[in-house]
Structure 1
Amino acid sequence: MRLAELTTDEAAERRGAVVVVPVGAVEQHGPHLPLGTDIRIAAGVAEAAVLRVEGTLLLDPLPIGCSEHHRSFPGTVSLRVRTFMDLVADVAGSLAADGFVPVFVNGHGGNRGPLNAALQELLERGVGAWAVTYFERIGDEARQAFPADSMGHACALETSISLSLWPDLVRGDRIPARPGAPAYPDPSLFSTAGVVRHRRFEEFGPDGIVGDPRLADEAKGAGIFSAAVERVAQTLRRIVGTRAD
């Protein structure tokens, strides 16, 4: 299942496989969630999805993403946008040159624009690659579980998933007693504002949260994680089928 555990001869025998690459971030997630929340969730979704889909392999995660907007909070590690794009392009180019189909499974909102731009540059080089952000595939389930304005960053959604996967890493006693501050354009994870403005996270308040982690629920988190795995698996099946065609 893991590309890095194959020998070079075994990798050659798997040419044509879809190689799934988790990408995320190591950045502040409020006072209650670990810095690695984004990459841990993305890697968990990717691994579980690969287990469900024949013709796929898993590459080790690319943990660091575009997190400059979180840098005022200690522990945040960030790549420049150009560096991140080059990293994605180099990884995808290497995989494609060996006959694999690269698919990036993303867990960080700040990576979405750079990922799309990297895929466009790859297209100009004749390299086909794919990207899917797990939370964009589960908007309906998430909105059924939580109010839209409770989801943004270190929020009800991420805290619930974290409680279901690694409860020992959630500092429940440090969840703030108030939700993150609203702003315009709407900073919620599933905004319908149709307007984009990039901000530094200290503008939202002193704790780096958007949304309301007080609403977190472990059982809801487990259900949403399962939905994310299945939606990403469905995407991988379609990509495998496209490759076969």
Structure 2
Amino acid sequence: MSKKVYHPEMTYTQFKEGKFNKAIFGVGSAENHGFHLPFGNDTLVSHGIAMAVAQKVDGMLVLPPVNVGVSYHYDDFPFTLTLRPEVLIEVLKDILNSTIRQGINRIIIINGHDGNIAPIEIAARSVKVAHPDVFIASLDAWWVKAGELLPQDTFEVWNGLGHAGEGETSISLYLFPELCQPEEAQGVVPDLPEGLDIKWKFNEITPYGATGDPTKGTAEKGKKMFNVLVDYIVKSIQDLEKNQWKYGVMLKM
């Protein structure tokens, strides 16, 4: 039987009964995901991971996900919505500060979109400096972490990477197949030169709104990705709790 963990669906009485002392939330986007995945894909995946983690961790409250991220490098493809980076930073700071004011000072962020990584870093660092006793951690790129955790032969193309590619299509087919149209999938592995990290716009590297090979995506691969990610996050939290959320070394000056 599942626990009541999702803030928007909870009454104050249920919140009190839950004895929540930790929080987790997803940060997603509202953007084109090729011809075959829903616009809210990044939000749906990051929120799905957060919900699954909360079912396995006592006292974990799931906050509402951030549904719009920094996506202006994708907005040549319809129908993409975007926040400015400075706006997302302030939104995240407000969510973090609100959570802290409500008495929860252990917060996990599950990010679903590449454009959000820098704003999450800036917002989290800023709040941490203002509240040194607060613990904030983030999974910045689940699509990369899944490839690191799974056997190397799990994916057929580009280690499953790409926007709306093999990996993202797989996890979407597993979590919400009713929202996907795999028969419409097209993609390309971009021919980017080795060396410097090029700050591309997405239409420069694909005509399809997707990179990688989404036609190789399967729900079976998606299930493996989802399970290994949830287990990884849960174990990380359990290890932190065993150590009373302490880490590092404090030097006496």
Distance in 1, matches of 2:6 and 2:160, equals: 36
What is the TM-score when the length of structure 1 is the normalising length? 0.86
Which segments of structure 1 move beyond 3 Å, counting only runs of 4 or more?
8-15, 238-245
SS of aligned partner of 2:25? strand
Q: Deviations over 1:124-154 (max 9, x none)?
A: 2125322113334322217431143651111
Residue by residue over 1:13-47, the C-alpha shift from the partner in whole angstroms, topping out at 9 and shown as x without a partner, is 836x1111111111111111111111101111110
Query: 1 CA distance for matches of 2:72 and 2:204?
Result: 13
Distance 1:11 1:184, change over 3 A: farther
Structure 1 pair 2–9 and aligned structure 2 pair: CA distance change class (3 A): closer
- Cα contact 1:135–1:228 (8 A) shared by 2: no
Name which of 133, 137, 143 aligns with 1:135: 143
What is the aligned partner in structure 2 of residue 204 from structure 1?
205
Select between 165-174 and 44-53 the one with higher mean Cα deviation.
165-174
Tell me by how many angstroms 1:244 deviates. Answer: 5.6
For the residue of structure 2 that corresponds to 1:68, the secondary structure is: coil
Q: Tell me if 1:93 matches 2:97.
A: yes
Secondary structure of residue in 2 paired with 1:102: strand
Q: Residues 21 and 59 of structure 1 are in contact (CA less than 8 Å); yes or no, is this contact kept in structure 2?
A: yes
RMSD: 2.3
Q: Distance in 1 between matches of 2:128 and 2:37?
A: 37
Could you state the TM-score of these two structures normalised by the residue count of structure 2?
A: 0.84
Structure 1 segment 180-199 matched on structure 2, within 5 A: 180-185=189-194, 195-199=196-200
The answer to whether the 8 Å contact 1:32/1:175 transfers is: yes
* CA 54–182 in structure 1, closer or farther in 2 if over 3 Å, else same: same
The one of 130, 144, 164 aligned to 1:125: 130
Which residue does the alignment assign to 1:51? 55
Tell me the amino acid that sits aligned with residue 128 of structure 2: L
Tell me the percent identity.
26
1:172 is the counterpart of 2:182: yes
Deviations 1:178-206 (A, max 9, x none): 62432135xxxxxxx6x423211000122
Corresponding position: 1:24 with 2:28: yes
Residue 112 (structure 2) aligned to one of 107, 116, 128 = 107
User: 1:123: Cα distance to partner?
Assistant: 2.1
Distance 1:6 1:237, change over 3 A: farther
For residues 224 and 24 of structure 1, the distance between their equivalents in structure 2, rounded to whole angstroms, comes to 18
Contact 1:137 1:232 in 2 (8 A): no
Contact 1:22–1:62 (Cα < 8 Å) also in 2:
yes
Give 1:165's aligned amino acid: L
Contact 1:161 1:218 in 2 (8 A): yes
Give the structure 2 partner of residue 189 of structure 1: none
Larger mean Cα displacement after TM superposition, 205-214 or 83-92: 205-214
Paired residue type of 1:121? S
Secondary structure of the structure 1 residue equivalent to 2:153: helix
Classify 1:88/1:171 alpha carbon distance in 2 versus 1 (closer, same or farther; 3 Å): same
Secondary structure of 1:161's counterpart equals: helix
Structure holding more helix per residue: 1
Q: 1:216 & 1:225 partners in 2: Cα distance?
A: 13
